[in-house]
Chains A and B, each alone.
Chain A
Amino acid sequence: QQQVKQSPQSLIVQKGGIPIINCAYENTAFDYFPWYQQFPGKGPALLIAIRPDVSEKKEGRFTISFNKSAKQFSLHIMDSQPGDSATYFCAASGNTPLVFGKGTRLSVIA
């Protein structure tokens, strides 16, 4: 009930490509869905977040798509760059502590 399932585990794309990372949840009480970006040796940094009253949110090159009925949400990175190479975590909460997915290691190659 508290799990957030994230896929894929790792992803390699060419520079300029559009990596897509998917997450699914079960707990319908979740109402906040952030994505965190983590570089090696650093703490997770909030990238973008969405609430279930909208189906999409864009911030710069990052877009979250949210499907409430399917209980799924995904992160799209437009025009990916080598500097986007990092581990990405989805998470969810409902006025409760964040529950994280297992992470996706993204490599963007030039």
Chain B
Amino acid sequence: EPEVTQTPSHQVTQMGQEVILRCVPISNHLYFYWYRQILGQKVEFLVSFYNNEISEKSEIFDDQFSVERPDGSNFTLKIRSTKLEDSAMYFCASKAGDAYNEQFFGPGTRLTVL
């Protein structure tokens, strides 16, 4: 069964450093998302991406964040200058098309900012 994969599973970084979180969505999917989940809290939407551009973003997704689909398979989230409060699980998700709202989530990357 196809699945969304994410790397790394755990990333530890120093405050102020840049991190790139990587995702490989399901191959025929067209819509891509990043969510985050601070420990013990709900899943929060960050950004959606379709047709090589951001389609929607939340207020969490400020200028420190960027997304890219550098090739036909990867979808990345970059945090330019990490802050302590960026520590969270980051989930990538993808869905096939607009008519199908089922989003499939990856296993997540645990980001720890020290």
Which residues does A use to contact B, with CB under 8 Å?
Answer: 32, 34, 36, 41-46, 49, 89, 91, 93, 95-103
Q: Which of B91, B103, B108 contacts A46 (CB 8 A)?
A: B103
Partner of B42, one of A46, A49, A100: A100
Docked-complex contact B106 and A95, CB < 8 angstroms: no
Q: Which of A42, A49, A95, A100 makes the CB contact (< 8 A) with B43?
A: A100
Chain B residue, CB-CB nearest to A33 = B101
The count of chain B contact residues (Cβ–Cβ below 8 Å) is: 21
How many Å lie between the Cα of A89 and that of B104 in the bound state? Answer: 14
Q: A32 touching B41 by the CB < 8 A rule?
A: no
Determine the residue in chain B with the shortest Cβ distance to A101. Answer: B42
Contact B42 A45 (CB under 8 A): no
Query: What's the nearest-Cβ distance from chain A to residue B29, in Å?
Result: 14
